[in-house]
Amino acid sequence: MSAAVPHVVVIAFPFASHAVKLFRLARALAAAAPAATFSFLSTAALLNEQQKKHEDSLAAVLRHASVGAFVTHAGWASVLEGVSAGVPMACRPFFTDQKMNAQLVARVWGFGTVLEEPMKREAVAVAVRSQLAGDQGIQVWEKMQQMSGMAANAFAPDGGSRKNLDKLVKIVCGEL
């Protein structure tokens, strides 16, 4: 008999206004997700000198080999963190750009899913499992790894992101 592989689900907790919905989501995930561990990061951690440490710790957690999926509010920074780490996402958007970002992750890029209201335990379980197993899980992981590789190339010293930033600086400084 083989031991179960642990999975870690991290919920970034950036705003106090999300608390009730995120705790509902956490309860649903705890009841449905396989061997899930939850990490709540407070608003205070984002607003003081610990911000960089928080960002580094979230990135380290997402890159850990036991992370199977990233449950996120789909803020742009969180989506970028998930892509950089190569972790499929289950998105629970609340407002502003989060809804559009969640649709990009799920429907356009194909490496995640959107968790909609009403939050039902069964729906959350299906969403998380779809990121972790079966043919759909394999497809999601393959798409995520492809996007993660593209992101790594873009952020490399000679990548498109760096080149475009350098060009913008030259334009703004009147050097081009």
Per-residue pLDDT reduced to its tens digit, 24-48:
666 666 666 555 555 554 444 444 5
Which token pair is 66? 């036991």
Alpha-carbon distance of 1 to 40, in angstroms, equals 33
- Res 110: pLDDT: 92
- Res 54: pLDDT: 53
Task: Report the predicted TM-score, pTM, of the whole model to 2 decimal places.
Answer: 0.65
Q: What is the pLDDT of residues 66-92, one digit of tens each?
A: 888 888 899 998 999 999 999 999 899
Which alpha helices (H) appear in 33-133, and where do they start and end? Answer: 43-47, 51-63, 76-85, 97-103, 121-132
pLDDT-derived band at 19, boundaries 50, 70, 90:
low
More confident of the two residues 9 and 174: 174
- Res 46: pLDDT: 44
Beta bridge partners of 11: 40, 71
- Res 97: pLDDT: 92
How far is the CA of 17 from the CAs of 13, 30, 48, in angstroms? 10, 21, 19
